[in-house]
């Protein structure tokens, strides 16, 4: 088992995409799956995944399929998306016949940092209140283990390499199945 599936999660504005895109570059044979991009594949008739169950289900179904295809071709896969332990558990259940190591990291920041980062984004991609709602959901999620949380507000962009190395090498982020949820 030499393949690794990384799930980089957290609310919008914590650095999921920046971290995921950097991580995928340091892996020798890797693929990047942006859940946001996957959710936008349907053009017309699409709802917001956090409001529309059909869009949510289709997004995850597509993530499962892409992940399976890439793991079967011996790629390390980095999924960049808002994923709670229940979604990670379902992802693992969809891939039970494959051998891989799963690394699950939830990036978090304090509220002030989150608001500041969201306001620095282009207006059309700002998440506003949604970011704060998700931050609260992650911080109070009863099945989310403390060991999977990585607070990044004290890191600068120049320290991204340290975050990547921690994600790759720290055993605290390795998914432990039902013990996790």
Task: Find out whether 71 and 95 touch, Cβ atoms under 8 Å.
Answer: yes
Q: What is the pLDDT of residue 159?
A: 86
* pLDDT one digit per residue (tens) for the chain, 181 residues: 589 999 999 998 888 999 999 999 999 999 999 999 998 888 787 777 777 788 888 999 999 999 999 999 999 999 999 999 999 999 999 999 999 999 999 999 988 888 777 676 667 665 667 788 888 999 999 999 999 999 988 887 788 999 999 999 999 999 987 544 4
Closest CA to 158 of 22, 51, 42: 22
- CA 23 distance to own-chain centroid: 12
Q: How far apart are CA 1 and CA 4, in angstroms?
A: 8
CA distances from 179 to 9, 109, 148, 171, 174 (A): 19, 25, 13, 14, 11
Q: What string of DSSP letters covers 96-143?
A: TTS--EEEEEEEE--HHHHHHHHHTS-GGG--THHHHHHHHHHHH-TT
Q: How far is CA 80 from the centre of its chain?
A: 4
Q: What is d(CA 62, CA 73) in angstroms, rounded to the nearest whole number?
A: 17
Report pTM: 0.91
In CATH terms, the superfamily for domain 4-179 is: P-loop containing nucleotide triphosphate hydrolases (3.40.50.300)
pLDDT score of 163: 94
pLDDT of residue 126: 55
Would you state the pLDDT for residue 37?
Answer: 92
Secondary structure letter of residue 40 according to DSSP: T
Chain segment 109-140, per-residue pLDDT in tens: 988 888 777 676 667 665 667 788 888 999 99
């Amino acid at each position: 088992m030499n393949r690794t599936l990384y799930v980089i999660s957290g609310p919008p504005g914590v650095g999921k995409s920046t971290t995921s895109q950097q991580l995928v570059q340091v892996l020798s044979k890797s693929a990047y799956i942006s859940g946001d991009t996957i959710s936008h594949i349907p053009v017309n008739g699409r709802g917001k995944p956090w409001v529309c169950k059909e869009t949510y289900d289709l997004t995850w179904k597509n993530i499962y399929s892409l992940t399976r295809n890439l793991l079967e071709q011996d790629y390390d896969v980095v999924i960049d998306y808002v994923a709670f332990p229940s979604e990670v558990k379902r992802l693992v259940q969809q891939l039970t016949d494959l051998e891989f190591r799963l690394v699950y990291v939830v990036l978090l920041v304090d509220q002030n940092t989150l608001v500041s980062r969201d306001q620095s984004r282009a207006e059309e991609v700002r998440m506003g209140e949604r970011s704060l709602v998700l931050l609260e959901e992650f911080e109070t999620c009863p099945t989310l283990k403390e060991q999977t949380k990585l607070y990044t507000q004290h890191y600068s962009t120049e320290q991204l390499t340290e975050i990547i190395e921690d994600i790759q090498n720290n055993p605290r982020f390795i998914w432990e199945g039902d013990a996790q949820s």
